[in-house]
Amino acid sequence: MVYLYSVLCCLFLFPYLGWRAGQVLGPRLRRVFWGLLVLIFVLFSIALLIHRRFEADWMSAVMNGSVYIFFSTMYATAVVVGVNVLRYIDARTLKLYASARPAVKQGVKVVAFIAALAVFFTTMVIGHRNVRYPRVIYQKYTVKRLVPEGAQPEKRMRLVFFSDLHIGEAMTPDYIARAVKLIQDQQPDLILCGGDFIDHRAVYAYDPRVMASLRSLHAPMGVYYVLGNHEYRDDLEANIRWVSEVGGTLLRDSIAFPGNGPLTLIGRDDWVNGNRKPFDVIANEADPMRGPVVLMEHTPASIDSIGDSPVDLILCGHTHGGQIWPGQLMVWWRYGMASGTRPVGEREVCISSGIGSAGATYRVGTRSEIRVYDLYW
């Protein structure tokens, strides 16, 4: 849907920007600018209508480009609107702009136009890099309830947690291969995927190149997945089958003991499944005396319950860290944080911003990531 939104919004944003730019540019440049806007809109409208017929890398690039232009146009439009709001305020207060010479007024318009262009291209570059070059966040977490007071931890386990890969038109096979390599480079004991590994259509996940990359994910204690809300948007059965075909283990309101070791891993189904088990029922099935208890859930819906459970660490995704500023504010309002970690008593909640992105490889105000947890007890 984000592709449809991008075309529809540009239908309104482009005329506004063309009108404002026309106040700055000369007749020839004005025609060129309008022609460029019309050309982009027509090309992306055609791409929107036919993109489902061409599951090819070049079409992915076109669709990515349309969303890049859409979001960066929104930021550029914000600059233009902001300048005109300041003019409106000035006209009713200080009247500095209103009393300025025509040459000064034209200079202000030129500066605003240049600033809008600079914001457009800068956000496009930033939006691309924030997805394409994920960061690795290393964290140490000691399960204090398993360590006698005054003693030092005797055991260590490395978990690599990634979420929100969103395999689809935007997340190309090349990017997925690099993401897999980044995960493997951390030498994990256990790999965990926190859902939304599919974006919208399972067909992209079944691309032989994507399958080969995900099959190369391996760890001594295994690779485990949970479902996210996006897996429910298309062919759920195909998405479930895909996990086993790439060598992973899917947990749906169930418990596993990776590698038959001391770790108890709880995998909860996503909240969009109205029939999933209640959190307390699943958590109470865990044996906290066996070793660390880790809960993996795509949407951070169980945060408020972790303090009353035997869970030591909860790993979530879903938020993308807000993905597009000021989305961070809305996510913070909903979950209390956009991404990161916070303690809940002696336990810890982690919300990852995810290694991919939804709709397009574009982020502003956040960055793709994987989380590397070294557990000690």
Indicate the SS3 state at residue 356.
Answer: coil
Tell me the average pLDDT across 265-293.
91
As a whole number of Å, the end-to-end CA separation of the chain is: 46
Give, in order, the Cα–Cα distances in Å from 331 to each of 111, 324, 346.
34, 11, 24
* Amino acid letter, residue 327: G
Count Cβ atoms within 10 A of the Cβ of residue 316 and give its class: 0-12 exposed, 13-18 middle, 19 or more buried: buried
CA nearest neighbour of 170 among 210, 208, 135: 210
- How far apart are alpha carbons 238 and 244 in whole angstroms? 10
Mean pLDDT over the full length of the chain: 92
Question: Does pLDDT of 108 surpass 80?
Answer: yes
Tell me the average pLDDT across 286-296.
93
Give the pLDDT band of residue 270 (cuts 50, 70, 90).
very high
Question: Does pLDDT of 120 surpass 90?
Answer: yes
Could you report the per-residue pLDDT of 18-39, keeping only the tens digit for each?
A: 999 988 998 999 999 999 999 9
DSSP 176-223: HHHHHHHHHTT--SEEEE-S--B-S-HHHHT-HHHHHHHHT---TT-E
What is the token pair recorded at 15? 């005329």
Give the count of beta carbons closer than 10 Å to the beta carbon of residue 56: 11
Contact indicator for 375, 157 with CB cutoff of 8 Å: yes
- How far apart are alpha carbons 348 and 138 in whole angstroms? 15
Question: Does pLDDT of 283 surpass 90?
Answer: no
Question: Does pLDDT of 343 surpass 80?
Answer: yes
What's the pLDDT score for residue 48? 85
Tell me the average pLDDT across 301-319.
88
- Look up the pTM and report it: 0.91
CA nearest neighbour of 372 among 342, 346, 352: 352
Strand arrangement of the beta sheet that strand 156-162 belongs to? 135-142, 369-376, 156-162, 190-193, 223-225, 249-250
Could you report the per-residue pLDDT of 132-146, keeping only the tens digit for each?
A: 999 999 999 999 999
- How far apart are alpha carbons 266 and 258 in whole angstroms? 11
Give the pLDDT band of residue 63 (cuts 50, 70, 90).
confident
